[in-house]
Amino acid sequence: MKFSERARELSKQFWEESHKHPFVTGLADGSLSEESFRYYLIQDGYYLIHFSRLFGEIADRAESNEVKDIMFKNKEDLEAGEIAVREEFFKEKNITDEEFDNTEIAPTADHYIAHMYRQIVESEDYIGVAVAGMLPCPWLYQDIGAELIKHQSPVPIYQSWIDTYVTDEFNNLTERHIELCDKLYDKANDDQKERMLNAFFMSVRFEYLFFDMAYKQEEWIKL
């Protein structure tokens, strides 16, 4: 069984629950509150900055030219695509640089980023572990986008968010990332294969928690 097949089966519950989460369904039917979406944009802005850095870090550490190429291309596309679109969303929602810089990073966003940096540190013997930990974000969003595009959101900015994840460029890069994980998994030993699956599964769980974090506008406990 390929990595992509095993990984999806392992994470099936959290994957499917992400599709059903009220944050996601609220984007499609327009019921998501403006406050939750605005909160999401700020937290996701922080996340995407680090996600881009992570692609670059993996590319720098990789020995394989194929891994380098795909990771660098993902970094470039992220900066030209998602991050650029988010800047337009910031303008529409009047999110200033000052507000962004002064907003505390939520626990879930912070922990998700820390998880992926940890995969880089712990994958010195096999870069495939870090590559696998990065896959759920584009793959799940591609899957959600393909479902939500069947419906027209009554809220224009929510529809713009959905449209971001159904472009040919985004789909092609995601498919290359999936195929790369399958190849790396085939070359891995049993321990490395298990770690690749664990890294993927943990990231899928964090994706679900990220939607939940935004929906509830999560905060740190105040004593």
**Which residues are tagged catalytic?**
137, 207
Q: If we measure between CA atoms, which residue out of 165, 212, 218 comes closest to residue 23?
A: 212
For the chain, the maximum distance between any two Cα atoms, rounded to a whole number of angstroms, is 50
C-alpha span between 106 and 75 (Å, rounded): 24
Structure tokens at 59: 């590319």
Q: If we measure between CA atoms, which residue out of 171, 202, 216, 180 comes closest to residue 67?
A: 180
The count of residues in the chain is 223
- 136 contacts 204 by C-beta, under 8 angstroms: yes
C-alpha span between 144 and 138 (Å, rounded): 10
